[in-house]
Amino acid sequence: MIDEPPPLPTPEPPPLPERKQRRWHYGLPLAAIAALVAIYIGPLRVEVYITDDAGHVPAPFEVTLHSANFDKKVMAENGRINLIRGLWREIEVTDRYYVRSSSPVRGGSMKLEVERNSILKLKQAATGQPSVPQRGDPDPKTDRER
């Protein structure tokens, strides 16, 4: 009898690479942040365009935003304000150079027309005060105290 050589060992399959679970740890928060940004940019954002009664973009002026729990005063610059619809319910013009008015916050973009306070301008003209303080003008607060 002829001796047969021993059988060759069967090759073992290479070990499977370990799954990387780190992707889940980073992917979930990033997906949540992306969803929140998309919601803010999309349906919840309201852009308010403001013009005065003459159709011009007014100089920066004060506006009060009303919510169910609190109020916040902001400056409307370049005739625009960006806000979140669910957070703010009403926008009110509180600057003294414009007639006080309010309107509810609605839609993706709003056009708000503010009326200039012509009575204030007439009072200032009657007393000789300029309607817009100029650089170098005396401060009216210190003039009254003397």
**Where does the pLDDT of residue 113 fall: very low under 50, low under 70, confident under 90, or very high at 90 and above?**
confident
Which of 3-12, 34-43, 65-74 has the largest mean confidence? 65-74
Residue 26: partners with Cβ closer than 8 Å, 6 or more residues away: none
pLDDT at 92 over 70: yes
What confidence score (pLDDT) does residue 73 get?
A: 92
State pLDDT tens for residues 2-17: 778 888 888 888 887 7
**Where does the pLDDT of residue 1 fall: very low under 50, low under 70, confident under 90, or very high at 90 and above?**
low
Q: What is the DSSP string of the chain?
A: -PPPPPPPPPPPPPPPPPP--HHHHHHHHHHHHHHHHHHHHTTTEEEEEEEETTSPPPPSEEEEEE-SS-EEEEEEBTTEEEEETTT--EEEE--TTB--EEEE--SSEEEEEE-B-HHHHHHHHHTT--SSPPTTPPPHHHHHH-
Q: The pTM is what?
A: 0.56
Question: What is the spatial distance between Cα 25 and Cα 60, in angstroms, rounded to a whole number?
Answer: 45
